[in-house]
Amino acid sequence: MKFLLIILGLMGISYFVSAQTDTNNKLPIIDIHMHAFPAESMGGTNVPNPATGKPSGAADDEELMQATLLEMHRYNIVKAVISGPLEVVYRWKSEEPDRIIGGVHFDDVTSLPDLKKLRQEFMSGRLGVLGELVAQYVGLSLSDSLFEPYLTLAEELDIPVGVHSGLGPAGTPYTCCPEFRVTYGNPILLEEVLVRHPKLRLYIMHGGWPYLEETKAIMSVYPQVYADLAVINWIIPREEFHEYFRALIRAGFEKRLMFGSDQMVWPEAIGLAIDGIESAAFLSPEQKRDIFYNNAARFLKLKETAE
């Protein structure tokens, strides 16, 4: 079997067996926010993980994909929403068709996908989520008229929408994205979209951090809005994450917070993200199960509760 041969060659037999054993002992997880990026993305796989200081070590696209899939099996991630260049997403989905939900990544307004083709891809099941929508990086909010036809389509077909919120890497306007502005990451800017599209299933990526009060306001008034905890659960200081996370729990959103890793080119981010949730001493076992599985299952309209 191609998958097994590649993994055994890359990672070693003992590690693969250990991963299989771990899967058998772990409860299922849904990762609502992951990426299928080419290995040269984010500066390449030799760029150190900002949390560990170590590069991923993947030499090419195939190694990055297989290493990521291995981590998914290791932690029993039974479903993952994976976005990126569509040709890469489709290649990953062909490897794990039952495990991967294809997402549409918007980060370049000069090459938005054709609406007619996108409709076909959603209706065929090849794609299942409109997101990650990264309007902030091109100096826009999701309420810009450019995105309106896509949001209309998502509402019509009942396709979930994931929108980037919060911040970006230090120095972003001076490097990749001169139009990037911190202000466009504020979840409060989603309100006009939610008013225009009352049936839209929308989730705020990165939990809206650091816009706590604005995130609470939006989620309080618009009960259809969920949030993922991706990237903030491993890349910001643990104490800061737990303080923010706990505030969302205290505000009553425990049934609408979802696990995400935001794995980009560092497969080990999956385990780091899981530990960010597991280490939250203020969570009950029931709350952890909701965040790791049940809330996303409900949002995605999958089976609602974990066995």
Task: Please answer whether residues 74 and 22 qualify as being in contact, where contact means their C-beta atoms are separated by less than 8 angstroms.
Answer: yes
pLDDT score at 6: 32
User: For the segment 208-267, what is each residue's pLDDT rounded down to a tens digit?
Assistant: 999 999 999 999 999 999 999 999 999 999 999 999 999 999 999 999 999 999 999 999
Q: For residue 13, is pLDDT > 60?
A: no
Residue 261 to residue 172: CA distance in whole angstroms: 21
- Mean pLDDT across 2-9: 33
Least confident of 22-31, 109-118, 178-187, 190-199: 22-31
| Whether 197 contacts 229, CB under 8 Å | no
Nearest to 190 by CA among 229, 159, 149, 147: 147
Mean pLDDT in residue range 115-139: 96
Angle between the N-to-C axes of helices 13-25 and 61-74, in degrees from 0 to 180, rounded to the nearest 10: 40
Quick one: tokens of 132?
């990650």
Domain positions in the chain: 27-300
- Average of per-residue pLDDT values in the chain: 91
Instruction: Tell me the average pLDDT across 137-163.
Output: 97
From residue 93, how far is each of 214, 227, 228, 273, 276 by CA, in Å?
35, 24, 22, 22, 27
Has residue 22 got a pLDDT over 70?
Answer: no
Higher-pLDDT residue of 143 and 21 is 143
Is pLDDT at 87 greater than 80 in this prediction?
Answer: yes
Please identify which residue in the block is written with the tokens 């002992």: 25
How far apart, in Å, do the first and last CA atoms of the chain sit?
Answer: 29
Give pLDDT tens digits for 279-299. Answer: 999 999 999 999 999 999 999
Residue 304 has a pLDDT of: 55
What is the DSSP secondary structure assignment for residue 179, as one 8-state letter? Answer: T
Handedness of CA 187, 244, 278, 263 (dihedral sign): positive
Residue 4 has pLDDT above 70, yes or no: no
137 neighbors 177 (Cβ within 8 angstroms): yes
Query: Looking at residues 131-135, what average pLDDT do you find?
Result: 95
pLDDT at 2 > cutoff 80 = no
Per-residue pLDDT reduced to its tens digit, 91-119: 999 999 999 999 999 887 767 899 999 99
Listed in sequence order, the DSSP H helices in 203-258 are 212-221, 238-250
**For residue 16, what pLDDT is reported?**
35
Q: Six-digit token pair at 72? A: 């998914």
Distance CA 76, CA 65 (A): 16
C-beta pairs of 166-171 under 8 Å, 24+ apart in sequence: 166/205, 166/206, 166/207, 166/208, 166/209, 166/210, 166/211, 166/232, 167/206, 167/209, 167/210, 168/136, 168/137, 169/50
- Architecture category of domain 27-300 in CATH: Alpha-Beta Barrel (3.20)
Pair of tokens at residue 242:
């737990």
Q: Give percent of the chain above pLDDT 90.
A: 84
Under the banding of pLDDT at 50, 70 and 90, the label for residue 170 is: very high
CA-CA distance, 187 to 208, in Å (whole number)? 6
DSSP state of 123: H
In the chain, % helix, strand, coil (3-state, to 5) comes to: 50, 15, 40
